[in-house]
């Protein structure tokens, strides 16, 4: 099913700490997931993706974990910096030519 935006969850993290942003997805048949970062006044920007044949994928300071058993996705950001402050979305395809986005999580980095 589609996510319903009730309110935007916020995660506040001290600069230098690690951040973990969670996402629950709905379709157990989904085989691909993306994380996007949306800074204030800008469009979403690709961070990292993962296919369902993997449990973990690492990028530069970011790691995505996929738990297919509980349909859960997480984005871990190491040594969080002020520039990481943004809204983060997970997205999954719904057939071709269509993606379903999660409700988003606002990450606030505290100095």
Nearest to 24 by CA among 49, 48, 54, 1: 1
Q: Is 58 in the site for other proteins (CB under 8 A)?
A: no
Least distance in Å: CB of 65 to other proteins?
19
Nearest to 63 by CA among 45, 52, 47, 76: 76
Contact between 87 and 8 (Cβ < 8 Å): yes
For other proteins, the closer CB: 17 or 60: 60
Q: Is 4 in the site for other proteins (CB under 8 A)?
A: yes
Of 13, 44, 62, 107, the one binding other proteins (CB under 8 A) is: 44
Instruction: Tell me whether strands 105-110 and 10-14 are parallel, antiparallel or unpaired.
Output: parallel
Task: Considering only residues 62 through 91, tell me which ones interact with other proteins, judged by CB under 8 A.
Answer: 87, 89
* Residue 26 structure tokens: 């709905």
Chain positions contacting other proteins, by CB under 8 A? 2-8, 31-32, 34, 36, 38, 41-46, 49, 51, 87, 89, 93, 96-101, 103-104, 106
């Amino acid at each position: 099913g589609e996510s319903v935006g009730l309110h935007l969850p916020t995660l506040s993290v001290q600069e230098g700490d690690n951040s973990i942003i969670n996402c629950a997805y709905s379709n157990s048949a989904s085989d691909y997931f993306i994380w996007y970062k949306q800074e204030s006044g800008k469009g979403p920007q690709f961070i990292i993706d993962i296919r369902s044949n993997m449990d973990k994928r690492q990028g530069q300071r970011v790691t995505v974990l996929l738990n297919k058993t509980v349909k859960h996705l997480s984005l871990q950001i190491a040594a969080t910096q002020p520039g990481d402050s943004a809204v983060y979305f997970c997205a999954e395809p719904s057939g071709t030519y269509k993606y379903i986005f999660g409700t988003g999580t606002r990450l606030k980095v505290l100095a």
